[in-house]
């Protein structure tokens, strides 16, 4: 068992050579077996054919003397061109089964016992038989008329020459098997080595790659074969890793910057406050300013924690059928006070029968981030509109319109990246960290939906949350 496990995990080149060699050896032995069977039947048919011709010749050489005895003209078989005929054994019966003649080769032995019913009377009867001393023979029986008498002729050839020839044939083939396997194994090893050379190059190249070299790629010799497909898949993996590392470095840098800003503000505020004695009112203002920065910092850390949990798969969706209008009302009630501060109004159009299968808390968080952005970046006394519709594919689309500065077409995909903020009014001055839309996009993607910006809306921005219907 340990040898088998070692073989399964050993050098691939040797394993392929042994596998191919074993299969080739098995096919060789099958070939030897099939060829031997075919050769045997060919020898057998040839022997029986010669035996029938010999029997027909013998029938023409039989004659009956005046006393009723049956004889064979043996002089014919003593000719130089007929020496193989001397190997045949001959036995002649009358119709009652009495032996009329046995040739010298047969001697006192008999062929295959007594006559059986209608033996040789319909056609040539071919079969295996035995002599009285146990030797196996090919037997042919045939009825023949000599003048007014019908006799049954039995002729037999020994099977030993056929089997000896078959044995020599098999041994000759078997003798060729070992060198053939060795030669085939050598060429299979060379071909396997050549075929796996690109794989070896890929392995050596992969071993040299480090985190600082993720921009490099493995060589692809033939993109249409399996090794080329493997190299392409590995290069795609490197591309994804490179993208992830770049995103991670950018995320780390952005997170550090975002954390450094409120911490620096807290430090500078505290240092300025301590430079001289101040009144109680001034201390209260300083503390209030520091608390504002702490709240901003807390909000940022909560967003980072939310993203970290999402990336690690710790958040498990608890799906339930939820009316879209109900969850929109819940969300709007949470941000109405923010809209009232800017004298903004929120209108909503949503049919009551539209439902989605979602995690209520996650979808509320998605809508809260988008609507909060709409309130934050829309001017005072503007209207934020929310429309819900269902298309022919049963996809529910929630459209949130605002009258903010809008988003340039080239930025409409980037805004969902973490810490990304546009240059058109969406800045830290407005209180954002560039994480809200990233969290929203994760929440929509987790439900198998799609979050995108409607490019046809030009009076501001229109964010579309597309989810599959629960029906």
Q: Determine contact, residues 133/109, Cβ cutoff 8 Å.
A: yes
Per-residue pLDDT of the chain in tens (471 residues, 90 and over written 9): 454 454 455 567 777 788 888 888 899 999 999 999 999 999 999 989 888 888 888 888 888 887 778 888 766 655 544 444 557 899 999 888 888 888 888 888 899 888 888 888 888 999 999 999 899 999 999 999 887 788 999 999 999 889 999 999 999 999 988 898 888 888 888 887 777 777 777 777 777 777 666 677 777 767 777 777 777 887 888 788 777 777 667 666 666 655 666 677 677 777 777 888 888 887 788 888 778 777 767 766 676 666 666 666 666 778 899 999 999 998 898 888 888 889 999 999 998 888 999 888 888 888 988 998 899 889 999 999 999 998 878 889 999 999 988 888 888 778 877 767 665 444 444 555 667 788 888 888 888 899 999 888 888 899 999 998 876
Residue (of 120, 73, 79) closest to 101 by Cα position: 73
Q: Determine contact, residues 205/219, Cβ cutoff 8 Å.
A: yes
Measuring CA to CA, how many Å separate 122 from each of 53, 56, 95, 118?
Answer: 17, 15, 14, 8
Residue (of 432, 383, 441, 382) closest to 413 by Cα position: 441
Q: Residue 87: its pLDDT value, please?
A: 72
Report residue 387: phi and psi, to 5°: -120, 145
Q: Residue 426: its pLDDT value, please?
A: 44
Model's pTM, two decimal places? 0.48
> Using CA atoms, how far apart are residues 154 and 169, in angstroms rounded to an integer?
30
Report residue 314: phi and psi, to 5°: -80, -20
- Domains, the chain, in order of start with CATH, read 14-164 (3.30.450), 226-311 (1.10.287.130), 319-468 (3.30.565.10)
């Amino acid at each position: 068992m340990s040898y088998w496990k070692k073989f399964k995990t050993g050098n691939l080149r040797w394993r392929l050579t042994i596998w191919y060699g074993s299969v080739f050896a098995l096919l060789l032995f099958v070939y030897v077996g099939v060829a031997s069977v075919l050769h045997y039947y060919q020898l057998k048919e040839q022997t029986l054919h010669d035996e029938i011709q010999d029997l027909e010749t013998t029938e023409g050489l039989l004659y009956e003397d005046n006393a009723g005895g049956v004889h064979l003209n043996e002089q014919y078989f003593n000719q130089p061109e007929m020496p193989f005929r001397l190997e045949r054994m001959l036995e002649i019966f009358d119709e009652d089964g009495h032996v009329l003649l046995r040739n010298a080769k047969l001697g006192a032995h008999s062929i295959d016992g007594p006559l059986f019913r209608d033996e040789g009377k319909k056609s040539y009867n071919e079969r295996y038989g035995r002599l009285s001393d146990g030797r196996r023979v090919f037997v042919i029986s045939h009825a023949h008329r000599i003048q007014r008498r019908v006799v049954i002729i039995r002729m037999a050839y020994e099977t030993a020459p056929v089997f000896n020839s078959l044995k020599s044939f098999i041994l000759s083939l078997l003798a060729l098997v070992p060198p053939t396997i060795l030669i085939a194994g050598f060429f299979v090893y060379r071909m396997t080595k050549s075929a796996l050379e690109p794989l070896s190059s890929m392995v050596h190249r992969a071993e040299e790659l480090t985190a600082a070299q993720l921009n490099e790629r493995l060589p692809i010799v033939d993109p249409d074969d399996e090794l080329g497909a493997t190299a392409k898949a590995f290069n795609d993996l490197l591309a994804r890793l490179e993208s992830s590392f770049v995103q991670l470095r950018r995320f780390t840098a952005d997170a550090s910057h975002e954390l450094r800003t409120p911490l620096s503000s807290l430090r500078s505020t505290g240092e300025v406050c301590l430079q001289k004695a101040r009144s109680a009112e001034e201390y209260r203002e300083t503390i209030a300013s520091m608390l504002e920065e702490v709240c901003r910092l807390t909000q940022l850390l909560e967003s980072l924690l939310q993203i970290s949990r999402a990336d690690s798969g710790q958040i498990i969706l608890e799906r339930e059928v939820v009316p879209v209008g109900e969850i929109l009302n819940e969300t709007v009630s949470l941000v109405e006070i923010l809209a009232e501060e800017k004298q903004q109004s929120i209108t909503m159009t949503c049919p009551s029968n539209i439902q989605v299968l979602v995690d209520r808390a996650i979808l509320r968080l998605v809508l809260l981030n988008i609507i909060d952005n709409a309130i934050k970046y829309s001017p005072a006394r503007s209207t934020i509109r929310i429309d819900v519709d269902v298309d022919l594919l049963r996809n529910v689309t929630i459209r949130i319109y605002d009258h903010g500065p809008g988003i340039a077409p080239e930025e409409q995909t980037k805004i969902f990246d973490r810490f990304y903020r546009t240059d058109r009014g969406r800045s830290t001055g407005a209180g954002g960290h560039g994480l809200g839309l990233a969290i929203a996009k994760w929440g929509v993607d987790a439900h198998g939906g799609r979050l995108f910006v409607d490019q046809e809306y030009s009076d501001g921005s229109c964010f579309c949350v597309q989810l599959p219907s629960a029906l």
